[in-house]
Chains A and B, each alone.
Chain A
Amino acid sequence: MEKIPVTNLIDKFGLERLNEEEINNFIEVSDIKRPGLELAGFFDYFTPERVQLLGRTELSFLKELPPELLEERLNKFFSYDIPCIIITRNMEPPQPVLDLSKDSGVPIFSTDYSTTNFMSLLSGYLEAEFAPEVTKHGVLVEVYGVGLFIRGKSGIGKSESALGLVKKGHRLIADDAVVIRRAMRDTLVGRSPEISKHYMELRGLGIINVQTLFGAGAVREEQSIDFIVELEKWDDETEYDRLGLNEEQREILGVTLPLVTIPVRPGRNLAMVLEVAAMNYRLKNMGYNAANEFTTKLKDELNK
């Protein structure tokens, strides 16, 4: 999302409004500002576009200021375009803060949270809202806690494989279209577009609802993506990875993920292959690599 209406914060965090001005402001950055230094007179690096958080420290400081100086600092503070001000611990801001926020049309709220707690809540919320997002073709399933993003051409059998996995007790997150967002710097989280959530299309049967057919345990709202599985038509001319020593990678939204290419042939039990791929991924993450161990064993044997 590019900007969030300030009004969204009121419902989300149960904020209390301290002035009754109409709110039309938007938040455009995910960072949060505690303007302590600015209130002390240092405005050189002020970032007014952020949500301004006033806690106990800032308010006590303001109360200590002589009236003329308080007025001067606040005038300067409110001369910037500020999306909104939030006061923590339900504290009472000095009257000039309320007056000036009203005059300059800056919404001002209070919350009963402590400043640090509220800051981390708000930061988590804003980070998620501003996270870059993209919709990709593919199926997202969770297998033994591992998020598999299955890709490949239409009709290759992505949905059938996912159904096979669901039948074995794993979970479907999204069929055919996956909305992917970068949650942290190197984590991708996928979910289904709201309309198609829990639905799946199977050639010959049409649209089915996985949750009603297989129960609440068969679906999940969100899942982090751990690796990509590319399904492709089995080609006798292509050399497939026989050892699993080389790791291919693919980038989505600037995050690099491991990629496994699996050739598809009629009769190949794809659900089982994918289940093993997920388990193997877990093992590798725990520090065990079967391919490495096997080749080391072989090398030792040859050196005897």
Chain B
Amino acid sequence: MEKKVMIQNETGIHARPASMLVEEASNYDSDVELLKDGQAVNAKSIMGIMSLGIKQSTEVTVRAEGADAEEAVDAIVELIQSGFDEE
């Protein structure tokens, strides 16, 4: 299960959005990954996500495997699309 999504918020995925993303991903039992340019990191790992250095307008892929994979992907895609509640 995977979906592509474009980063909306101006500042990209800096520390706060990264921690929000990790928090969301950790709500699910599935293994969740975030991919950028073929690099895959664990979406439950704050270091992993921040190490990708994701800027605005970058396309990332959210991929999950497990019982609640679909819910996990949908929730994270929604979070990214909402721009992490930033202006």
Q: Which residues of A contact B (CB under 8 A)?
A: 134-137, 153-155, 175-177, 179, 192-193, 195-196, 199-201, 207
Cβ contact within 8 Å between A177 and B45: yes
Cβ contact within 8 Å between A137 and B41: yes
Cβ contact within 8 Å between B42 and A193: no
Cβ contact within 8 Å between B51 and A196: yes
- Residue from the list B31, B39, B51 in contact with A176, Cβ < 8 A: B51
Q: Which residues of B contact A (CB under 8 A)?
A: 26, 31, 33, 39-42, 44-48, 50-53
Q: Which residues of A contact B51 (CB under 8 A)?
A: 176-177, 192-193, 195-196
Cβ contact within 8 Å between B44 and A195: no
Q: Would you give 5 A-B contacts (Cβ < 8 Å), ordered by A?
A: A135-B39, A135-B40, A155-B44, A176-B48, A177-B52
Cβ contact within 8 Å between A176 and B40: no
Q: In the bound complex, what is the Cα–Cα distance between A153 and B31 (angstroms)?
A: 8
Q: Which residue of A lies closest to B22 (CB)?
A: A154
- Residue from the list B26, B48, B53 in contact with A137, Cβ < 8 A: B48
B65 to nearest A CB, angstroms? 12
Nearest 5 interchain pairs by C-beta? A176-B47, A193-B51, A154-B44, A137-B42, A196-B51
Q: Which residue of A lies closest to B29 (CB)?
A: A153
B39 to nearest A CB, angstroms? 4
Most buried by B among A153, A154, A155, A195: A154
Q: In the bound complex, what is the Cα–Cα distance between A136 and B33 (angstroms)?
A: 10
A231 to nearest B CB, angstroms? 14
Q: In the bound complex, what is the Cα–Cα distance between A137 and B33 (angstroms)?
A: 9
B64 to nearest A CB, angstroms? 13
- Residue from the list A137, A192, A195 in contact with B45, Cβ < 8 A: A137
Q: Which residue of A lies closest to B19 (CB)?
A: A206
Q: In the bound complex, what is the Cα–Cα distance between A175 and B45 (angstroms)?
A: 10
Q: Which residues of A contact B40 (CB under 8 A)?
A: 134-137
